[in-house]
Amino acid sequence: MGESFKGLSRRDFLKVCGASATILGLSQSYVPQIAQALEGAAAKPPVLWLQGQNCTGCSVSALNSNHPSIAELVLDILSFRYQPNIMAASGDQAIQVIKDTIKNEKGKYVLVWEGAVPDKEDGLFAAFGEENGKPMTADKWITEAADSAAVVIATGTCAAFGGIPRANQAVTGAKGLLFDGTAKGGAYKGTTPVVNVPGCPPNPDWLVGTIVYWLMNKKAPDVDNYGRPKMFYGQTIHDNCERRAAFEAGLYLETWGDPAAIAPAEGGTATQNYCLVKKGCKGPITFSDCPIRRWNSRTSWPIGAHGICIGCTQPEFYAGLAPLYEKVPEVNLFGIQTTADNIAKVLGVAVAIGLGAHLVGNFATGRVGGKGGDK
Amino acid sequence: MAKVVIDPVTRIEGHLKIEVEVENGVVKDAWSSGTMYRGFEQLIQGKDPRDAIRITQRVCGVCNTIHGMSSVFAVDNAFGVTVPDNGRIIRNLIFASDWLADHPLHFYHLAALDYIDIMAVASYAGNDPALLKVKDKIVSLVKANDTYPLTPRYEPDAFVIKDPEVVTTAVSHYLEALEMRKLGHEMLALWGGRAPFFQNVVVGGVGIRPTVARIAEFTWRFEQLASWLENTYVADVVALGTGPLKPIHDLKVGLGVSNFLGYGAFDEKKSGDIKNRFFRSGVIDNLDLKNIKDLDPSKITEDVKYSYYKSASGLKPAVGKTDPDPKKADAYSFIKSPRYDGKPHEGGPLARMLMQQDPGFMELAGKIGVWPSAVARHAARAYETKMLIGQIRVWLDQLAKNINGEVCDDKALPMDAREGMGITDAPRSANGHWVSIDKGKVTNYQIVNASGWNFGPRDDKGVRGPVEEAIVGAPVPDPTNPTNVVRVVRSFDPCLACSVHIIEPTTNEILKFKVT
């Protein structure tokens, strides 16, 4: 290693490594190992970032990355060959870059895929670039680009599970890469490993952390049944929610902005901020670390700002979680006892809609559970 | 005649394709095509109308606050709520924070690479430590033979700025802007929970109450961002627009349809009232700046003859239909063709500033020449940023003086049949949602989105949309380097994915761009 690493001073380089350790929740004593992993690469790892039925929200969220910053990611750590929102090239020049990367960097590049992949009407509901005067559709691109990639990161709930476009699947055929909602069987049929980083949008830490983990270890992090890294999606919102005490105490907000249900520090007169579960909060059935990690340089998060969790990291999102502002039927409010029979009935439902083992544990303790006849 | 297709147009949001015909080095005709469809208007049918406020934000990850606000105005209107002042002001702060993050993103990260030769940085000969750091960075990328994503690119044309000092300064501001725009999203998150996609704006107002601490946390970020926007972003746009980029304006690159429309933005009295907004609503025809007409939303219709929809053409949005047919003959876009009084109208910062006619803007316009162009749109965007900064301070004062005021008129879901309209200007144009509900479910939902006004295809009469019209006349001396086409396209800050290729009709071969 000379004076500089890929254009960074040694000090700046170690800062990047330290930030990477932070995002992965590692102690700073890992900095030398991260430095070794990044220095070990002869060149910056190439990245193709392609988009299907997307809204660019995942890309915009990634711009908010702090540790490392987006400028460090794009210019210092990775070689962003194709990212449609920031790259200089347009048109055929841009398309040629994808083709060259697939051909020349086979097995070496990271494919980040944003958006669902539709297959109805020959895939014409999402296309970019043309070949012989015909549109290149997302369902063609995914096979070609993923098959030659080292790893695929399905960023956002659309890419992971189909997300919001999947609510209109009857018309466009929208699916995720490996999943169609909670069911296996998405748009990508190949064998390249796919890591799901859902969220609408994903927190930049989840995406950047997954990429950095892969760079360090050359393998995907430990994932749950839905392909989500457990280090970010291992617990429910409810597990770590700052309003959990209110839930346990049976204090529920009924009217938005009601000072009698809001803590003095937040402009109200109540003893604490009341739980939002009666307003439809999906925190009890949603897996992510939002309450701890928070958003936008940790300034806030949805429940912290007195809004509900809409369950955006879940494979059921959106259609399977509608209506958003009605109480989740499986959640028992304080004081409602559940019989063993009812728990068994509800467990059947829970498995059918794909809730994780952790939630099943909560059903068993009676904290979360339907009344059996709810569904 | 050469046919030029650019697919995809990058550094925008979404999937858009643009085709142009070039004759004697000038664009003679143009077609703008949206190449992606998800069907929000379909998937929200039968759902709880309150869900629309969350879900329709995902129409666009860049314009999400705009769709959220349009949606909540529409559902507010249907529910018949009266939003309390603090609810209205907090919504304004959420919305305005996004504008302050969005405008510099557009200028530096989406548009600027069309105007500077980034490789000129290597020739920087000054001593400024910050600029030398930028130089070192770019030089090291070149040495490592990996300059992605800054290359490949179109060959720099005659209008591109090549002065090493100016370019290096611009690149250093590009990098600064990446950090500064995050402050706008942090400001948004303080009131809205997170960005993108705020979470607590609900029918009737907001869920969050103002506190002195939150106002302070917001102000601390806002004043840092405001200072940078005024001293760097606005200063850069004015310096470049009146200096090295003036020749592009003088050539009238990107003139457009000369009709303008605005729904107004930022409610000052009653929430959703288009007559009392900080940026006023109105209509200008044929660039007649002395005759600003009141906006009449009943004059809005959407044509679909050239759009991939089999539903009827010319419908008003309240009774609009969205039934896609991606193989429809003669159609070339998933975008519909919105018309006001039967004519195409441009929306966005230039429309707003021409309607506002603030003395400072008119003075700036006088310096560069009062006609629409790609450069004029950038100038208008920068100027309105400055105006908005001033008004945010007013709203913060109002909030602080009424700190215990209510924030929400929380009404139950109505079961009878209702209709609602929610329209507001967005950073890039005018955006509207129309909702019909019955028995607590959405029975119809129509979105006339901001970029639709500008990027829509021809209407049923064959009249080009504003962007198509604005591209016509653009100089394209080299069909393999249609830089002026993408300059015009990006000056409208498109929020959809575009595609542009270059085809030589004689051989029908797509020319390959030279990789620089």
Question: What 3 state SS string does B133-156 have?
Answer: HHHHHHHHHHHCCCCCCCCCCCCC
Mean confidence (pLDDT) of chain A: 85
Instruction: Give the pLDDT confidence score for residue B513 in this predicted structure.
Output: 28
How distant is the Cα of A80 from the closest Cα of chain B, in angstroms? 5
Mean pLDDT (whole number) for B137-154: 89
Question: Residue B421 pLDDT > 90, yes or no?
Answer: yes
Our answer to whether residue B337 is catalytic in this structure is no
Give me the residues of B, 373-392, that contact A with CB < 8 A: none
Percent above pLDDT 70 for chain B: 96
Q: Which chain B residue's Cα is nearest to A83? A: B149
Q: What is the pLDDT of residue A5?
A: 54
| Mean pLDDT (chain B, rounded) | 91
Rounded CA separation B439/B441 (Å): 6
Model pLDDT, residue A41: 64
Query: A275 and A251 in contact (C-beta within 8 Å)?
Result: yes
The per-residue pLDDT for A330 is 75
B316: its two tokens: 């008003």
Q: What is the ipTM of this complex?
A: 0.91
User: Is residue B414 within 8 Å of B252, Cβ to Cβ?
Assistant: no
pLDDT the model gives residue A366: 41
Quote the pLDDT of residue B1. 78
- The beta-carbon neighbor of A90 closest among B136, B146, B486 is B486
Predicted pLDDT of residue A19: 75
> What is the model's pLDDT at position B512?
31
What is the C-alpha end-to-end distance of chain B, expressed in Å? 26
pLDDT tens per residue, range B285-307: 999 999 999 999 999 999 999 99
The residue extents of the domains of chain A are 4-229, 237-328
Distance between CA atoms of residues B183 and B306, nearest Å:
41
Average pLDDT of the residues in B50-74: 94
B219 pLDDT higher than 80 = yes
CB pairs < 8 Å spanning A and B: 321
Asked if the model's pLDDT at residue A155 lies above 60, the reply is yes
User: Residues 36 to 55 of A: which have CB under 8 A from any B CB?
Assistant: 43-44, 46, 51, 53-55
E strand or H helix at A114: strand A110-114
Q: Give the pLDDT mean for A236-253.
A: 96
* CA distance readout (Å), B375 to B157, B249, B490: 16, 6, 11
**DSSP state, residue A89:** -
- Which range is least confidently modeled, A81-95, A138-152, B171-185? A81-95
Least confident residue range of A147-151, A332-336, B424-428: A332-336
Does position B54 have pLDDT exceeding 80, yes or no?
yes
Topology at the third CATH level for domain A4-229:
Rossmann fold (3.40.50)
The DSSP letter of residue A260 is G
What average pLDDT does this structure show over B73-95? 98
pLDDT at B141 over 50: yes
pLDDT at A249 over 70: yes
Mean pLDDT of A202-222: 93
Nearest neighbour of A296 by CB, restricted to B186, B202, B206: B186
* Tokens (6 digits) for B448: 């006339």
Closest CA to A227 of A267, A167, A184: A184
**Which residue among the candidates B11, B13, B181, B307 is catalytic per the annotation?**
B13
Does A171 reach chain B within 8 Å, measured CB to CB?
A: yes
Q: Looking at the complex, does the CB of residue A371 fall below 8 Å from at least one CB of chain B?
A: no
DSSP letter assigned to residue A57: H
What are the residues facing B284 on neighbouring strands?
B260
List Cα–Cα distances, B233 to A70, B184, B425, in angstroms. Answer: 20, 14, 22
Distance of alpha carbon A193 from alpha carbon B502, whole angstroms: 36
Read off the pLDDT of each residue in B59-82 and give the average, rounded to a whole number. 95
| Res. B516 pLDDT band, cuts 50 70 90 | very low
Determine the topology of domain B2-510 in CATH: Cytochrome-c3 Hydrogenase; chain B (1.10.645)
Q: Does B152 touch chain A (CB under 8 A)?
A: yes
Mutate to test the interface with A, among B3, B11, B15 (most CBs of A within 10 A): B15
Q: How far is A97 from chain B (nearest CA, A)?
A: 8
Which is more confidently placed, B503 or A245? A245
Where does the pLDDT of residue A42 fall: very low under 50, low under 70, confident under 90, or very high at 90 and above?
Answer: low
Model pLDDT, residue B496:
57
Residue-wise pLDDT tens digits, A307-323: 999 999 999 999 999 99
Q: Could you give the count of Cα atoms lying within 13 Å of B438 in the half-sphere of its Cβ?
A: 4
Residue for token pair 């009238």: B252
- Tell whether the model's pLDDT for residue B498 goes beyond 60: no
- DSSP H stretches of helix in B144-276: 164-192, 212-228, 235-242, 246-250
Q: Is B451 considered catalytic here?
A: yes
Model confidence at A6, in pLDDT bands (50, 70, 90)?
A: low
A window 198-217, beta carbon within 8 A of B:
200-201
- Print burial letters for A317-328: b (CB count within 10 Å at least 16), e (below 16): bbbbbbebbebb
pLDDT of residue A343: 37
pLDDT of residue A159: 98
Q: Coil, strand or helix: which one is B342? A: coil
Query: Does the pLDDT value for residue A347 go beyond 70?
Result: no
Residue A24 has pLDDT above 60, yes or no: yes
Residue A355 has pLDDT above 60, yes or no: no
Region B163-189 average pLDDT: 96
Instruction: Say if residues A75 and B141 touch (Cβ distance below 8 Å).
Output: yes
Please answer yes or no on whether A256 and B110 come within 8 Å at the CB atom. no
The average pLDDT across A270-274 equals: 97
Partners of residue A262 in chain B, C-beta under 8 Å: 209
pLDDT of residue A358: 41
Question: What is the band of B3 on the pLDDT scale with cuts at 50, 70, 90?
Answer: confident
B396, B219 Cβ separation under 8 angstroms: yes
How far A338 CA lies from chain B's nearest CA (Å)? 29
| Alpha carbon distance B301, B173 (integer Å) | 42
Range 308-327 of A in CB contact (< 8 A) with B:
308, 310, 318-319, 322-326
**B26, pLDDT greater than 60:** yes
Residue B378 catalytic?
Answer: no
Please answer yes or no on whether A129 and B199 come within 8 Å at the CB atom.
no
Q: Which of B146, B205, B508 sits opposite A43 (nearest CB)?
A: B146
Q: How confident is the model at residue B231 (pLDDT cuts 50, 70, 90)?
A: very high
Which residue's entry shows tokens 């039927």?
A: A329
Residue A55's contacts (CB-CB under 8 Å, 6 or more residues apart) are A115, B13, B58, B59, B60, B61, B64
Interface probe for A, chosen from B16, B40, B58, B121 (most Cβ of A below 10 Å), is B58
Out of A55, A74, A265, name the one closest to residue B58 (CB): A55
Record: contact B11-A135, CB cut-off 8 A: no
Is residue B408 flagged as an active site residue?
A: no
Residue B8: the pLDDT is 83
Q: Does residue B217 have an active-site annotation?
A: no
Is any Cβ of chain A less than 8 angstroms from the Cβ of B200? yes
> Exposed, middle or buried, B244 (CB in 10 Å: 0-12/13-18/19+)?
middle
Q: Is B513 left (phi over 0), alpha (psi -120 to 50) or beta?
A: beta
User: How do A110-114 and A46-51 pair as beta strands?
Assistant: parallel
C-beta of residue B393 within 8 angstroms of C-beta of residue B401:
no
Q: Select A237-328's CATH number: 3.90.1150.10, 3.40.50.2300, 4.10.480.10, 3.40.640.10.
A: 4.10.480.10
Q: Does A286 score more than 70 pLDDT?
A: yes
Domain ranges of chain B: 2-510
Between CA B391 and CA B246 the distance in angstroms is: 30
Residues B357-391: tens digit of each pLDDT: 999 999 999 888 888 998 999 999 999 999 999 99
Ranges A29-33, B129-133, B148-152, B154-158: which has the least confidence: A29-33
Q: Percentages helix, strand, coil for chain B, rounded to the nearest 5?
A: 40, 20, 40
pLDDT at B11 over 90: no
Contacts of B21 (CB under 8 A, 6+ apart): B1, B2, B3, B4, B27, B28, B29, B30
pLDDT tens digit string along A52-88? 999 999 999 999 999 889 988 888 889 999 998 888 8
pLDDT at B501: 32
CA distance B396 to chain A (A): 16
For the stretch B282-290, contacts whose Cβ atoms lie closer than 8 Å and that sit 24 or more positions apart, written own/partner, are B282/B355, B283/B259, B283/B340, B283/B341, B283/B345, B284/B259, B284/B260, B284/B351, B284/B354, B284/B355, B285/B258, B285/B259, B285/B343, B286/B258, B286/B259, B287/B258, B287/B371, B287/B372, B289/B354, B289/B357, B289/B370
The amino acid at residue A218 is K
3-state helix vs strand vs coil in chain A, percent to 5: 40, 15, 45
Cβ within 8 Å of residue A275, ≥6 positions away? A241, A243, A244, A246, A247, A251, A252, A253, A281
Taking each helix axis as running N to C, give the angle between helix B85-104 and helix B212-228, from 0 to 180 degrees, rounded to the nearest 10: 30
pLDDT of residue B43: 94
Confidence of residue A346 (pLDDT cuts 50, 70, 90): very low
DSSP E strands, B13-170 = 16-23, 26-34
Using the predicted structure, report yes or no on whether residue B82 has a pLDDT greater than 90.
yes
Distance from CA of B463 to the nearest CA of A (A): 25
Backbone φ and ψ of A50, nearest 5°: -110, 155
Instruction: Tell me the mean pLDDT in the region B465-491.
Output: 90
pLDDT for res A296: 97
Instruction: Tell me whether A266 touches chain B (CB under 8 Å).
Output: yes
At residue B504, the pLDDT reads 33
